[in-house]
A and B are shown apart, each in its own frame.
Chain A
Amino acid sequence: MDFLNYDFMQRALLAAVLVGITAPAVGIYLVQRRQALMGDGIGHVAMTGVGLGFLLSWSPVWMATLVSVLGAVLMELIRWYGRTRGDIALAMLFYGGMAGGVMFINLAPTGSNANLTSYLFGSLSTVSESDVTAIVLLAAFVVLVTLGLRRQLFAVSQDEEFARVTGLPVRALNLLTAITAAVTVTVAMRVVGLLLVSALMVVPVAAAQQLSRSFAATFAIAVGIGVTVTIGGTVTSYYQDVPPGATIVLLTIGAFIALTALAAPLARRRARAMATGEPAGDPAECAIPASRESDGKVGV
């Protein structure tokens, strides 16, 4: 555990764990409303923020937060009003955001594409004190929203129309989800990078689903997977000279494959347990219709 003696590793691990918590915590709502790729879109838009940060000599993290929140709000508005041309509008927003990032960073006196690369793929070892402060504050916001409003966000993501009839402020909650997703993207930007952010939002949730039957369990398992792979990836990248962002994402996909392989026999066992353990439940085998059996010895 000698890596804990280094300040940069302490910062890297803290940032990584916070990403491991927040990304799946937001991602589960995106997956539930079938907007799994929204994080990817926000990641593209955030590039303009990074570029603007360099150009104006502001903190790229805060600037990316600002721009991606604006982008996420715009995406929600397009979803409301866009209707048929909505996907075209979204495409323009995504690629405009990416092109804007490349343009601004090249116009900036101190910026270069090398700087941009560290935001695109993450650069854990260069996370600074002020980055950590920003990440902690933003992560606290994300946890507060995703846990504190879990029942409301669940209801809205599950059935928007019904949620409205329960009197929930559906539009405000949708906006809040989008904003929280945007904040998460910038939290994760330094760790896994803008291009890989979405993987940490979506894949742990997909992996957790292989084991769970409830939303609450999916949430807990997904966060557990998120924390495990971010720590695992960070430590691996310390001992082996591999990029942490890519390592984390590959570990996540590995977890998904492992849990999928595990899930099939588990489901079979569960089905067997239900068939034998619960007489009230439906029998696992079809019984012969009673009308054909006169003595009544039907089924098992």
Chain B
Amino acid sequence: MTEPVISLRGVRAELGSRPVLRGIDLTVNRGEVVALLGANGSGKSTAVRSVIGQVPVSAGEIELFGTPRARFRDWARVGYVPQRTTAAGGVPATVTEIVSSGRLSRTRFGVFRKADRAAVRHALELVGMADRAKDSVDALSGGQHQRVLIARALASDPELLIMDEPMAGVDLASQEVLARTLREQVAAGATVLLVLHELGPLEPLIDRAVVLRDGCVLHDGPPPKAVGQHALPGHDHVHPHAAHDAEPIRTGLLS
């Protein structure tokens, strides 16, 4: 049962002319919950976006469900929650309308059937937003908005969830809802790759943590336990000369 769902080998990526990923290896096996940690700017979002084909990769191999990413077409199996941006569309849209976009991959030519509408409703129930289904997303708080984006990712009943900082700027109540939703998904067999700034309430769920620094993998193993001073013993040997940020891991996990 160690079938890799996500596999990155020696992945490099440049944005502009700047190397952002400098040879990353990352594997997420079926049923695993992996947290991707690291300081701001360490390349977490870029790594995740390279998996879903949003960042051109200059070297290395990426596979999704055992298929080279360039040939991967089965996008309904992937649910993606982007790092939240404040920019909304220029036209009002309801919660249901936004979440319905996540179901498109399961429809033929975008025609919604009864089952599709039910799936959208169910996804909203999972994140506790069913009572706001007809409200405009502009009327939601940051945490509620994030729950809507997660419902959108869940609407296609994905086997793999990729979430970029789902807890950032989310109020405590929404954090608990998100943790519960994720727990249910994992119990149902979902594979999860999560970008996190700190482990927080999700800590008990996480099987493995991968820590990035300056576009390199610094640590890949059990999640750092008590987020204390010596969270990651031995990391000095991995990267002795990256001096520009004195304590990058601590900032990544604590701030």
Tally of B interface residues using CB under 8 Å: 34
Is B90 engaged at the interface, CB distance under 8 Å to the other chain?
yes
**Roughly how many angstroms separate A165 CA and B74 CA in the complex, as a whole number?**
10
Q: Assess the A151–B112 pair: CB atoms within 8 A.
A: yes
Chain A, Cβ-Cβ closest to B105:
A166
Give Cα A214–Cα B135 distance, bound, in whole angstroms. 8
Chain A contacts with B in 68-119, Cβ cutoff 8 A: none
Q: Is the CB of A162 within 8 A of B105?
A: no
Query: In the complex the two chains form, what is the Cα distance from A164 to B51 in whole Å?
Result: 12
Q: Smallest CB–CB gap between A153 and chain B, Å? A: 9
Rounded to whole Å, the gap between the CB of A119 and the closest CB of chain B is 29
- Could you mark each residue 132-143 of chain B with 1 if its beta carbon is under 8 Å from any beta carbon of chain A, else 0? 001110010000
Hey, what's the 0/1 contact readout for A24-62 against B, CB within 8 Å counting as 1?
A: 000010011110100000000000000000000000000
Residues of A within 8 A of B54 (CB): 161, 164-165
In the complex, whether A184 has a CB less than 8 A from a CB of chain B is no
Contacts of B107 in A (CB 8 A): 151
Pick from B74, B101, B134, B139: contact of A158, CB under 8 Å? B101
Q: Kindly state whether residue A8 has any CB partner on chain B within 8 Å.
A: no
Interface hit among B76-84, B183-191, B207-215, B224-232: B76-84
The one of B74, B90, B112, B134 that contacts A33, using a Cβ cutoff of 8 Å: B90
**Per-position contact with A for B100-112: 1 when CB-CB < 8 Å, else 0?**
1110110100101
Whether A205 is near chain B, meaning CB under 8 Å from some CB there, is: yes
Give the contacts of B138-158 with A (CB-CB under 8 A).
139, 152, 156
The answer to whether A215 and B52 touch across the interface, beta carbons within 8 angstroms, is no
Given the interface pairs A155-B104, A214-B134, the reply to whether A162 lies near B152 with Cβ below 8 Å is yes
Residues of A within 8 A of B (CB): 28, 31-34, 36, 149-152, 154-155, 157-159, 161-168, 205, 209, 212-216, 218, 280
